[in-house]
Amino acid sequence: MASASVACQNWAIATTSEPAVGASPTESVDRPVLGASQRPFRRSVETAIVGGVVGGLSVRLGIRPRWLRAVALVSILLGGTGLIVYVAAWVFVPRRGESISIAQRVVNDRRESQIVLASSTILAAVLVTLLVVGHQGVSSAGWPVLVTAVGLLVVWRGSSPAERIDLQAHLARLPFSDTGSRPWRSVLSRLVGGVALLGVGVAALSPRGLQSTNGALLGVGAMVGGFLLIFAPWWVRTLRELTNERRERLRAQTRADFAARVHDSVLQTLALIQKSAEDPAAVIRLARQQERDLRTWLFDEPRVAGATTFSSLVDQLARDVEEHYDITVDVVVVGDIAADDDVDALVAAGREAAVNAAKWSGAASVSVYGEVETDRVSLFVRDAGRGFVLDAVAADRRGIAHSIEERIRSHGGTAVIRSAPGSGTDVELVLGRRTTP
């Protein structure tokens, strides 16, 4: 008896030791173990024929999938209820190896949710219109077809990349697909099926078929289906080729624009740097200008041609001072507004402060910081140079008093200058923003 018990235990271990060591059956087994149910319910990957619902259910119940597929086929043929249940499980049950379902993925993506909602609304409106005008024959099959169509749309829009690859592989194996080792078979299959549907449509639209509204509806549907079966793959292929051509054209244009920008700016600046190799100040100035150009091109929003803004005026201020006085100007601007007379005066006063710093401070760089707030615009010019005593400035030196203080005060702003020998100079310019009634 003991040996029999050991043998039974060894047989049980052998039959249940397929998963990797340390892995639970619910995480690694994707095939049914007869008589052993597995939790949780997940759509199958290995045994999937379409969506993996029946294969996953067979794993969950521990029975052979062929019996469940037979039951599912019968339920689909009897009123379409099984088809609705299958699509619903496809949408709401996660795939094995995935943490969320297709429905959760669509709900979390606002764009996909809008597409599904708009498409389902259109389909429901068409179905309700047919019912209102008297096509009562579509009521029994219309709603299952509508629910199934919406579910399949959700599946296509919300499936994971791995599942979408599997779906495309399933579509490629269909007899009507052009992708395969023998495309002539798909063309022949589409042609035969399309001609058959067109024949049904012609028969339904004959005088005898037009005696009933259902016959007319069947005829129109068969004609449309026949034309789509014959010509839709060609339309889709043409549309795909046009889309790829447009994408390649945009890529080529982007590469051409990038190459032109590099040639017109970077390469030209490198050539000037080579010519000015004996002048370190000129090299630094050219490098700074090129850096500012590239940063503006790469990271700033494109500006409308001819439009002047606060940030563009500050950038031009830095370019002019660097070009004429061989000094580095570090610029930071937060926010932006359109330029007007007040903004022009503010930047002009800041330019005068930067020029004074470049000419008299002896510092290697000047910092310019601009900020646009809801109620005011500020511009700060700082240097770490030798500094000066403001009261000791000669009366005939009107650069600070006239070009900075009086200019900014005439536009309703304030100018504060702080400086001391050996501690640099700090110029703070603040201008209130005009409010429109």
326: tokens are 């061989």
Distances in Å between the Cα of 227 and the Cα atoms of 135, 192, 199 are 23, 12, 11
Highest mean pLDDT: which range of 12-16, 26-30, 278-282, 407-411: 407-411
Q: How much is the average pLDDT of 193-201?
A: 78
pTM of the model: 0.46
Higher pLDDT, 414 or 18: 414
118: tokens are 């708009």
Distances in Å between the Cα of 266 and the Cα atoms of 38, 381, 418 are 64, 29, 39
Residue 426: per-residue pLDDT: 93
Q: Is residue 290 within 8 Å of 265, Cβ to Cβ?
A: yes
Q: How much is the average pLDDT of 7-27?
A: 37
Classify burial at 375, counting beta carbons within 10 Å of its beta carbon; exposed 0-12, middle 13-18, buried 19 or more. exposed
CA dihedral 307, 313, 315, 320 (to 10 degrees): 120
User: Left if phi > 0, otherwise alpha if psi is -120 to 50, otherwise beta: which for 427?
Assistant: beta
Q: Cα angle vertex 263, ends 258, 268, to 5°? A: 145
Map residue 379 onto helix, strand or coil. strand
Q: Cα angle vertex 189, ends 187, 194, to 5°? A: 95
Map tokens 């929003």 to a residue: 301
> Among positive and negative, which fits the CA dihedral 49, 53, 54, 57?
positive
Q: How much is the average pLDDT of 181-208?
A: 72
Residue 137: per-residue pLDDT: 54
Beta strands (DSSP E) in 298-383 are 328-334, 365-372, 376-383
Residue 216: per-residue pLDDT: 61
Cβ neighbors of 193 (< 8 A, separation 6 or more) are 176, 226, 229
369: tokens are 């910081």
Euclidean distance between CA atoms 53 and 86, whole angstroms: 7
Which residues are paired to 8 by β-bridges?
Answer: none
Highest mean pLDDT: which range of 176-180, 379-383, 399-403, 419-423: 379-383
What amino acid occupies position 223? Answer: M
Domains, the chain, ordered by start? 25-173 (no CATH), 178-275 (no CATH), 291-432 (3.30.565.10)
**φ, ψ (nearest 5 deg) of residue 45:** -110, -45
Q: % helix / strand / coil in the chain, to the nearest 5?
A: 65, 10, 25
Residue 150: per-residue pLDDT: 86
Residue 78: per-residue pLDDT: 73
Alpha helices in 205-309 (DSSP H): 213-261, 268-275, 280-299
Which residues are paired to 382 by β-bridges?
Answer: 367, 426
Map residue 11 onto helix, strand or coil. helix
Q: What confidence tens digit (pLDDT) does each residue in 70-109 have?
A: 888 888 777 667 888 888 889 999 988 888 899 898 989 8
Q: What confidence tens digit (pLDDT) does each residue in 31-74 have?
A: 666 666 777 888 888 777 888 888 888 888 888 888 888 888 88
Distances in Å between the Cα of 102 and the Cα atoms of 28, 169, 231, 236 are 21, 19, 31, 25
Map residue 326 onto helix, strand or coil. coil
Q: Is residue 223 within 8 Å of 198, Cβ to Cβ?
A: yes
Residue 20: per-residue pLDDT: 36
Q: Is residue 336 within 8 Å of 342, Cβ to Cβ?
A: no
First-last CA distance in the chain: 100
Q: Cα angle vertex 143, ends 75, 107, to 5°? A: 95
Is the bond leading into 65 cis (omega within 30 degrees of zero)?
Answer: no
Residue 304: per-residue pLDDT: 45
Euclidean distance between CA atoms 148 and 123, whole angstroms: 11
Evaluate if residue 26 carries a pLDDT over 50: no
Q: Is residue 187 within 8 Å of 234, Cβ to Cβ?
A: no
